[in-house]
Structure 1
Amino acid sequence: MVSESQLQAKRPVSAALAGPYGHPFHPILVTVPIGAWVASLAFDIASHAVDDPAFLTQGSEWLIAVGVIGALLAATVGFLDLFAIPTGTRAFRTGLVHMTLNLGVTAAYVVNFVWRYGTYTDGGSVGVGRLVLSAVSLAALGVSGFLGGKLAYRYGVRVADESTQAEGYGPRDVGRPS
């Protein structure tokens, strides 16, 4: 039996802003900062393996900026998803930790961007401190992603209820597109 609290956490505060029932925008948007920041770390590491690393250090810098912009967009709709979770629940506490980690990671990447802004012009590889900050930030993002997965897959936040999910496992209607 699904409780009223569970049903509340499945419905968006605003479908227009956070995505319709069973199809939230937050998981779609988080792919932008994750991809950009993973690629920026790869560029940082690669900048130590080539003769002329300026293009990699510049690329990494701008990937960090793209990631920050994407993270702010994902945070906006993620915040709306958090409002759908009843306060005082494990799911809400998990959501608060998830949000806090993500905001900390985003702040660390803002610092990282400012720290390295324009330094690619010297033609050198990414400094060790900046590379370590990226690696630590990405590790924290992994922990936060684990918590985000817990919210969706364990607690079912913004996931359609089981009767709606069951529609996907019935026979395909003949004559209707799938």
Structure 2
Amino acid sequence: MTRESLLQAKRPVSASLAGPYGHPFHPILVTVPIGAWVTSLVFDIASHVVHRPGFLTQSSEWLIAVGVIGALPAAMVGFLDLFAIPAGTPAFRTALVHMTLNLLVTAAYIANFLWRHGDYAGGGSVGIGRLVLSAISIAALAVSGFLGGKLAYRYGVRVADETTQAEGYTSDGGRGSTRTPV
């Protein structure tokens, strides 16, 4: 891989849409679906523990919807980040698996929402099938998150280059210091 290809994966396709150099939007946007879906699973489990679980069942359904809605902008900027990675590289293959898992998880949560929709009126706990679907979806999301971390922390996708990073380790913040970064 050439240095130009490596630098290409660090630069945004569109800084206004995907985030400026060294500060992509994708990592902050994924917190919405992750948080909503993890909390919905906690509520699903809790609905089997409390005396009146209807509020947890209903809340879980709407958290799933919030997660799906939040996944849309996260996916859009994720696609932009994908386009910056040179095809045929291990980083690109990892990104494709990461994207595929995320799309499958989102589809599973759409199905889970539709399966639940309007079914909490009885005030009962979440059905075991729906709970299992949520648990499997979270497990797949965890694998995808691991791959996302690999993209950022191992392959440096959309992470500032080492020269830029070194500015944070000089005594004057990179403003002309001759001190060698640690």
Give TM-score, length-normalised by structure 1.
0.95
Query: 2: CA distance between counterparts of 1:73 and 1:103?
Result: 13
Count matched residues: 173
**What amino acid is aligned across from residue 61 of structure 2 in structure 1?**
E
SS at match of 2:91: helix
**What amino acid is aligned across from residue 119 of structure 1 in structure 2?**
D
Query: 1: CA distance between counterparts of 2:145 and 2:5?
Result: 23
Alignment match, 2:127 = 127
How far the C-alpha of 1:121 sits from its partner, in A, is 0.6
Q: Deviations over 1:16-69 (max 9, x none)?
A: 000000000000000000000000000000000111111000000000000001
Alignment match, 1:18 = 18
Structure 2 unaligned runs (5+)?
Answer: 174-182
Q: Deviations over 1:66-94 (max 9, x none)?
A: 00011111000000000000011110011
Does residue 115 of structure 1 match 2:115? yes
How far the C-alpha of 1:3 sits from its partner, in A, is 1.4
SS at match of 1:51: coil
Alignment match, 2:36 = 36
Q: Deviations over 1:83-131 (max 9, x none)?
A: 0000111100110000000000000000000000011111100000000
Structure 1 unaligned runs (5+)?
Answer: 174-178
**What amino acid is aligned across from residue 3 of structure 1 in structure 2?**
R
Alignment match, 2:177 = none
**What amino acid is aligned across from residue 138 of structure 2 in structure 1?**
L
Query: 1: CA distance between counterparts of 2:54 and 2:133?
Result: 19
SS at match of 2:59: helix
Query: 1: CA distance between counterparts of 2:136 and 2:161?
Result: 36
Query: 1: CA distance between counterparts of 2:106 and 2:69?
Result: 9
**What amino acid is aligned across from residue 31 of structure 1 in structure 2?**
T
SS at match of 1:106: helix
How far the C-alpha of 1:149 sits from its partner, in A, is 0.5
How far the C-alpha of 1:172 sits from its partner, in A, is 3.5
**What amino acid is aligned across from residue 12 of structure 1 in structure 2?**
P
Give TM-score, length-normalised by structure 2.
0.93
Considering only aligned residues, what root-mean-square deviation do their CA atoms show, in Å? Answer: 1.2
